Amino acid sequence: MNSKRTKLPLYIIATLLFGIKTYIIYRFMFSIELDNSMQELILFINPFVSAFLVFGLSVWFQKQSRQMKFLRYTALIGTLILYFNLVFYRSFSDFITIPQLFQGSNMGDLGSSILTLMKVYDILLFADVAIIWYLSKKKQDVMAVRYPKSGKVFALAMSFLLVAGNFFLAEMERPQLFTRAFDREYLVKNIGIFNYHIYDAVMQSKVKTKRVFADENELTEIKEYVNNSKSKDKSNMFRAAEGKNLIFISVESLQSFVINNKVNGEEITPFLNSLVGDEDTFYFNNFYQQTMQGRTSDSEFLVENSLYPLPRGAVFFTHGRNEYNAMPELLKNKGYYTSVFHANNKSFWNRDQMYNSLGYDQFYGEDSFEETAENTIGWGLKDKAFFEQSIKYLQSMEQPFYTKFITLTNHFPFNLEEEDRTIEPYDSGSATLNNYFPTVRYTDEALKQFFKQLKDAGIYEDSIIVIMGDHYGISENHYKAMSQYLGKEEITPYDHIQLQRVPLFIHIPGSGKGKVMSKVAGQIDVKPTLMKLLGVDIKNDIYFGNDLFSEDRKGYVALRNGDFISDNYISTEGVCYNRQTGDPIEKANDSVVKETTESPCNPIKDKVLKELGYSDAIIYGDLFRFEDFEPETNDSDS
């Protein structure tokens, strides 16, 4: 070695700088929960382990210039991966998956949403890249290393040894981490974001092979499970809306905590509040969103199919060409005209392809509406103009029809012009939560206006109108402000699950049977509920939901990450809670039951994981291509 060389080569400096930066991001920019000192230790060491493995590869380059170039670009690419995940996390409290990289076509439509997620101080995250860049250019002679082959092998072996040690600690802390990887946060917390991405890539390659090797025999076990889970009784609402139009309104980011609630002393949703207790409206106040990374598109998928979304990516993108037996196709077989109204372009979330697979007749996208500077904001057409311009299309449709409306105004970052506000923003440290209330009110007013327009157009009496929140609007990143609004010291894991409730209203004009329904329910239940209301045969269908009007129900709702809500319990983050009180279930020694055989949540947990696995198998293997869903001629009892 040259005596002039530094004793601290650049790849070691890069490891230290990049490791420190990564740890700071993990610890202070991602909202990663740490339950004990072991998790603290693992979170601290895994950034350095990953950095040493990657930067250490530079010693295999003989030429100094190539060694320095490798370090420069590795630091830059690694930082960009971190930063893209950080921006994504600020919006979704989640980490990017491989399927989402193929959804890049959506990014061009996000506009101001992405800009609000980027902070001025983010430039500091590139400081180590600048330092490495400078040293690699100006101090190349003293920063490069020339190890003999034995030294290179030793450096590589040391890297793998550190990675193995990291994985060993992770498996000790979280048994079956890789086989039961429902939670991406656990993966990042235990093995680091770069190893997580490698794991994700491996999982994606395995997924791609599943369709190739799938066969119809896989459906036998699934059908047996589904048939045993279906409601056996026929509710008193069976065929209660037969022959009526179905108008389904998917309301962007609408959560249940705003219903019958106030901000600044004023009702947030006066119109929706009026539907609660209305004699023609069934309101479900314990109805949970079950989406994952596909958000609104996942919500659509759940409603149309009564199948679960995927744990990674959006089904609309990854499996848009699959065979399905969706609600539009079932209703079309019943003589319905089926359509979707959404003032966005047809390729967003791959809707043009997926809607064809689901069986829709028509998609009224942005080309079907007249947009001006006055009637658009944020993601596009304001809700009031959206509904107003849609009426003429409804009036021209042959009845009965099934049409779905997807609203836009109440979308992150919840921008609304001053003249459109009828309530003032909340006052907290979160602009997102503050602005959420005026946009929710605006959408509430648009819904009230739409009901009147349906009546004026002569469509209202012959229709049932369903209003559903598609997913949460306020992410975990704003829970400090949320705890202030709700008057809580903090938002606990139990509270987080309760905040996954979204409104579901089923309005049947003239029924006179409306009431508040408090049983645990979820988006997976919408399809069988509506099909039975409309008298559509689903005896031969494969689905995982239950009729919400039936007394014979499975009594739990599975979330996509493996958590669940049952009649008596809530299971999240490995803890079993009493659903009514929010208290952790305790053993005789007053210690929390956490992932032990004594937990009363375990029997339901096993069912949840089995159900999610069966749904995944159907989608990944495109198993419905092997099934004949032709309805039986006698549909007297579905």
Most confident among 194-198, 200-204, 569-573 (mean pLDDT):
569-573
Residue 65 has pLDDT above 60, yes or no: yes
Q: What is the DSSP letter of 310?
A: P
403, HSE (Cβ side, Cα atoms, 13 Å) = 24
| Interaxial angle between packed helices 296-305 and 526-533, expressed in degrees from 0 to 180 and rounded to the nearest 10 | 50
Q: pTM for this one?
A: 0.78
Q: Which of 15, 22, 269, 296 is catalytic?
A: 296
Q: What is the mean pLDDT of residues 512-516?
A: 96
Which one has a higher pLDDT value, 94 or 529?
A: 529
Mean pLDDT of 580-584: 94
Provide the pLDDT confidence category of residue 303 given band limits of 50, 70 and 90: very high
What value does the mean pLDDT take over residues 7-13? 86
Which has more confidence, 189 or 207? 189
**Residue 97 among the catalytic residues:** no
pLDDT attached to residue 151: 83
Judge residue 610's burial from the number of C-beta atoms within 10 Å of its C-beta, 0-12 exposed, 13-18 middle, 19 or more buried.
middle
Distance CA 577, CA 80 (A): 39
pLDDT band at 107 (very low <50, low <70, confident <90, very high): low
Of the ranges 29-33, 173-177, 330-334, which is most confident? Answer: 330-334
Alpha helices in 120-258 (DSSP H): 127-138, 140-143, 149-173, 184-191, 193-213, 218-229
Name the DSSP class of 126: G
In angstroms, the CA 54 to CA 71 distance is 9
Average confidence (pLDDT) over 223-232: 88
Which of 350, 423, 409 has its CA nearest to residue 104? Answer: 350
Judged against a pLDDT cut of 60, whether residue 587 lies above it is answered with no
Which residues are within 8 A (CB) of 112 and not within 5 positions of it... i.e. 6 or more apart? Answer: 378, 413, 415
Both tokens assigned to 444: 């509430």
Proportion of the chain above pLDDT 90, given as a percent: 66
Q: What does the pLDDT average to over 94-106?
A: 67
> Under a CB-based contact definition with an 8 Å cutoff, are residues 355 and 402 in contact?
no
Instruction: Say yes or no to pLDDT of 534 above 70.
Output: yes
Q: How confident is the model over 367-402, as pLDDT tens digits?
A: 999 999 999 987 789 999 999 999 999 999 999 999
CATH class of the region 218-626: alpha beta
Output the pLDDT for position 7.
Answer: 65
What is the mean predicted confidence (pLDDT) over 175-180?
66
The domain segmentation of the chain, as residue ranges, is 10-210, 218-626
pLDDT exceeds 90 at position 202: no
Mean predicted confidence (pLDDT) in 323-346: 94
- Residue with tokens 């693992």, as numbered in its chain: 42
pLDDT in tens, 411-451: 988 999 999 999 999 999 999 999 999 999 999 999 999 99
